[in-house]
Structure 1
Amino acid sequence: MLSLVSTNHVSIPTPTFKQNRIIAAIDLGTNSLHMVVVKIDATLPAFSIIAREKETVRLGDRDLATGNLKPEVMDRAIAALGRFQTVAETFNAETIVAVATSAVREAPNGKDFLHRVLVDLGLSVDLISGQEEARRIYLGVLSGMEFHNQPHMIIDIGGGSTELVLGDSNEPRTLTSTKIGAVRLTGELITTDPISNAEFQYLQAYARGMLERSVEEVIANLKFGESPRLVGTSGTIETLALIDAREKLGYEPSTLNGYQLSLKDLRDWVNRLRKLSNVERTAIPGMPDKRSEVILAGAVILQEAMTLLGVESITTCERSLREGVIVDWMLAHGLIEDKLRFQSSIRQRSVLKQANKYQINLEHSDRVAEFALSIFDQTQNKLHFWGEEERQLLWAAAILHNCGHHVSHSSHHKHSYYLIRNSELLGYTESEIEIIANIARYHRKSAPKKKHENFRNLLTKQHRQIVSQLSTLLRLAVALDRRQIGAIEKVQCEYHPHTIKFYLRIFPSHPDDDCALELWSLDYKKSVFEAEFNVHLITTLEPYTMSINS
């Protein structure tokens, strides 16, 4: 369990190896850009926050006609990210993990913006889905608050979306994301200052209507007798807690972690805020710069969520998405001995859930995945130089490569791309999902081509190279189980660089099977593999031996 030690110190399960490391995490939110720099101290084990940065950029202030991110806003964001990089370098951060959420996710030119960030700053930003954002928020809260093995509800009100999570010490049960946020609703629904009665009534009704489905999902996953507390994170909720604390205590508390705000007091604040102009709201003690413009919409979202959930108070947690990004990175890089079973298998569980949804023949897909990974391992550092992260993407593509049959047998590889691309694969970034979908797309028919829109959608040249090379391995793996009966027991690869010959030795599962269809299929599919790696593929059927099966 990730439990609270102090305000900025978090206890973490025993790491697999001992090493102090400094990394930074950046969250490109709809309202603000945030960064935390942390020191991972494996001897405690713990991580501590050594720097925080924030800049209100308003990525959510998009062009009303096109939905695009505005040029001047993108300029501000890139300038802010450049400053963040300088700060991270000052603290000798070895890497910066950056994620973008709803504003960039929804903008038609969002990927162009991320490509510009990559070109101008050399910073790779991962686009994450709403559910993936919710999962990392859960990890962040779990890192900063003791759950005592009890279920908790978590609400994070951002600028463009609101995440609602139900989870306990072991796993999140419900992950939801709704397209309502403080910046979005302010821009779309509020035109008067102070807000008119008509607009206020509509704002309340709209927020409630949008939240109903998420709340229903959370309540449906509660077990009999459970009454979880509600935890709130991020700017809107922290601001409401701060102005409430300032008024009650007469001073600003050193930490908002654990501060409780009652629904009764929240309703009082909503009624007060709705009567004030923006200028008057800025004068409230504790109101941060620029937050006054959007605080009413955020407060209404929280009020309606609490009312629908039937809770009387909310507890503030200062940990959220950024810290969740840190924890997720640590889990992925083996810095935490993962005692949370769900987290260690989140990717696998998510992929298998989609496989079940699309009625995939898992026995066949498992064999294909096993062959693909076997070829990957045997050709690593010989034909390719990809690592564990790319290996995981190949596995996911192999499991899901046939999901397009759910739509139609004809051109099913293209349907597979569409279904994977639009699936909620938790644990993966949007870029990774795009890579998985493309690898699956090219398991048959033509090789990747720049004229293909899906191939052009890949963010970088490296991503396109991953797809081009790993999809050829998947092609061979699919051919090895051509009849889908497990005719091949295993494969052995031999590469002779001087003669550029690549031998694929296949071992049959049964002594009387000549594997003719598999051999034909390998011969039919080998040209793409040969062209990609500049080798001559020679396939041989080895004699059946009992030792293979023993």
Structure 2
Amino acid sequence: MPNDALRVAAIDLGTNSFHMVIIEESPEKGIVEIDRVKDMICIGRGSISTKMLDEESMQSGVAALKNFLVLASQHGVTRDNILAFATSAIREAKNQHEFLRRVREETGLKVKVISGMEEAEFIYYGVRNAVKLRATNDLLFDIGGGSVEFVIANQEGVKLLESRKIGVARMLERFVTVDPVSEREITLLEQFFSAEMVSSVEAAKRLKVKRAIASSGTAENIARMIHSMHGRESEGSLNSSSFTRSEFERLYRTMIPLNSAERRKMSGLDEKRVDLIVPGLILVNILFRMFGFEEVVVSDSSLREGMVLHYLQHHSSSRPSSEEEIDIRRESVYELGFRCNWNQRHSMQVARISLQLFDTLAAEHGVDEHYRELLEYAALLHNIGTFISISSHHKHSQYIIQNGGLRGFSPSEIEIIANVARYHRKSPPSEKHPGYLALKPKHRHAVDVLSGILRIANGLERGHRRNVERVEMVEKNGVLVLRLSTQFEPEIEIWAADQLKSLLENVLEKPIAFCRA
């Protein structure tokens, strides 16, 4: 671990499960996840109505925390940098002090019990570091075991924080008595959810919320089941993926009539959520109905990630303040570059030239402005595959981008960036390549254009001397002439670009030539 790196572990003692995430933060690499672990303790089992944590659950909880601390120690996390927050079930238990005393005596860990509003605020910190918030307001909701947190926020900050006692374990214990769930129990749950969400719905209408972002195990399980129903693999992160109202309704109609044994066979469903998913599905159905959303975006970052980020804001000089706007997409790209020991100066020069080419050729390629940003990120990351091997490094770059945990991008955007980087050299895009073929037709066309531009930009930085300062295009007799403003004679740059221009020529259906301005 570098001397200037800081490792932090955050433990979330939730109603259903205890989670721990371990991260490393350093000035260059930013935040890197080292490990994460989950144990479905179900500390809230039976305590929703009795307000008492049972003995078995407390013993299991202490044992899980002991294991977490051993793992944190093995990863080099000091005790001073281990955070532990307890939420709804422990917060409401009459014997919470007994459990917290045992934890402290047997593990040395001091657990802080946080309020529902604090929980909502930490969730906001976590989500905004994983999904790019918009200028318009978004609704963030996190479905826990004991409570559900609602946050309305945009890229400037929080507009509303609410916590409601409608978590899935609480609702399962209170309302669901038969398996499969009965129509009467569904109606009771719907009525209870609706009554509890009135103020959030009114605020969402007043603040003109258009999009929903969900962060929780329930939401991820729903997304994985939907992916499975569509025959899509979803073993990795689902961050910034989404599911539509119609996709959800199809899953809902399939799942609700099933009993627990039948639900257990559903691909994508965590075995320990077989019963909890029932009130979860009913809740999400009501959310779609009351808020009028047509789509829900998934965030894989939530409370514990927010705990870490909040901690780092007070313990790391390199992190922005909580009120400072974060460009998570750019930050994430730079972090991945640093993790792969990128040549930053070369990559930034290639990106700068790529954007100039995109702009000066805009009338020729006609690609939507949205793809300009993706071109820049592909250019910044085009060479990171050399971290694995120089040979076929374009293919390694594609793989790293696809699996590097980029934050703030939708899955389709990551695939576009990865494909553009993959085609910056060697063979051009081809429908024989599964990754390219899987793209939508409009995305394939964008990849054709962007990778053609990136090839030329890479050629114009062939000598790694940042010679090209500006690129402008003039058309002469049907030829697109790219005029280069340079510091020195650009023989090597023009020679290299000439070798790489054929893809863009084919896409634009016009010849390309180069000259010094």
What TM-score comes out, normalization by structure 1 length?
A: 0.56
Distance 1:254 1:97 in 2: 26
Moved over 4 A (4+): none
Secondary structure (helix, strand or coil) at the match of 2:129 reads helix
> Structure 2 counterpart of 1:51, which letter?
D
Q: Is the 8 A contact 2:136 2:209 kept in 1?
A: no
Q: Distance in 2 between matches of 1:65 and 1:179?
A: 12
User: 2: CA distance between counterparts of 1:337 and 1:322?
Assistant: 17
SS at match of 2:142: strand
Structure 2 CA distance for partners of 1:298 and 1:336, relative to 1, 3 Å? farther
Aligned pairs, how many? Answer: 322
Residues 1:128 and 2:110 aligned together: no
Matches within 5 A, 1:146-545: 146-220=132-206, 222=207, 226-341=208-323
Letter of the 2:214 partner, please give it: G
**Among 75, 82, 90, which residue is 2:59 paired with?**
75
Q: Give yes or no for the alignment of 1:29 onto 2:14.
A: yes
- Runs of 5+ consecutive residues of structure 2 not aligned to the other structure: 326-517
Q: CA–CA distance in 2 between the matches of 1:87 and 1:331?
A: 24
Q: Tell me: CA distance 1:210–1:41, structure 2 relative to 1, closer, same or farther (3 Å).
A: same
Residues 184 and 41 (structure 1 numbering): CA distance in 2 closer, same or farther, change over 3 Å? same
Which residue of the partner structure matches residue 97 of structure 1? 83
Task: Please tell me whether the aligned partners of residues 46 and 173 of structure 2 are also in contact (alpha carbons under 8 angstroms).
Answer: no
Q: Cα 1:81–1:340, aligned 2, differ >3 Å: closer, same or farther?
A: closer
Q: C-alpha separation between the residues in 2 aligned to 1:219 and 1:197?
A: 30
CA distance in 2, matches of 1:105, 1:64: 11
- Between the aligned partners of 1:205 and 1:269, the Cα distance in structure 2 is 21
* 1:41 and 2:38 matched: no
Partner of 1:114, secondary structure, is helix
Contact 2:11 2:18 (C-alpha < 8 Å) held by counterparts: yes
CA distance in 1, matches of 2:114, 2:142: 16
In 2, Cα distance between equivalents of 1:191 and 1:286? 25
Deviations 1:289-332 (A, max 9, x none): 21111101011111212221111110111110010000010112
Change (3 A) 1:235 1:64: closer
Q: Identity of counterpart residues, as a percentage?
A: 31
1:441-485, CA deviations, whole angstroms, 9 ceiling, x for partnerless residues?
xxxxxxxxxxxxxxxxxxxxxxxxxxxxxxxxxxxxxxxxxxxxx
Give 1:412's aligned residue. Answer: none
**Once superposed, what is the RMSD of the aligned Cα atoms?**
1.9
The answer to whether the 8 Å contact 1:98/1:126 transfers is yes
Separation of aligned partners in 1, 2:306 and 2:104 = 23
Distance 1:22-1:309 versus aligned 2 partners, 3 A rule = same
CA distance in 2, matches of 1:202, 1:65: 17
Distance 1:326 1:339, change over 3 A: closer
Deviations 1:113-142 (A, max 9, x none): 112211111001111110110000000011
In 1, the alpha carbon distance for the partners of 2:49 and 2:157 equals 41
Q: TM-score, normalised by structure 2?
A: 0.60
* Closer/same/farther in 2, CA of residues 89 and 291 from structure 1, 3 Å limit: same
- Partners of 2:252 and 2:260 lie apart in 1 by 14
Q: What secondary structure does 1:131 align onto? A: helix
Measure, in 2, the Cα distance between the counterparts of 1:149 and 1:89. 41
**Tell me, what secondary structure is at the counterpart of 1:39?**
strand
What is the deviation of 1:341? 3.3
Q: What corresponds to 1:54 in structure 2?
A: 38
CA distance in 1, matches of 2:253, 2:169: 19
Asked if the contact 1:245/1:253 (under 8 Å) is kept, the reply is no
Which secondary structure does the structure 1 equivalent of 2:271 belong to?
coil
The AA in structure 2 aligned to 1:100 is: A
Kept in 1, the 8 Å contact 2:143–2:149? The answer is: yes
- Matched-pair contact (CA < 8 Å) for 1:163–1:175: yes
> Aligned in 2, Cα 1:339/1:86: closer, same or farther, shift over 3 Å?
closer
Gapped regions of structure 1 (runs ≥ 5)? 1-17, 344-550
SS at match of 1:287: coil
Output one character per residue of 1:203-238: Cα deviation in whole Å (capped at 9) or x when no partner.
222112222222223433x1xxx4432111110000
| Residues 340 and 123 of structure 1: CA distance in aligned 2, closer, same or farther (over 3 Å) | closer
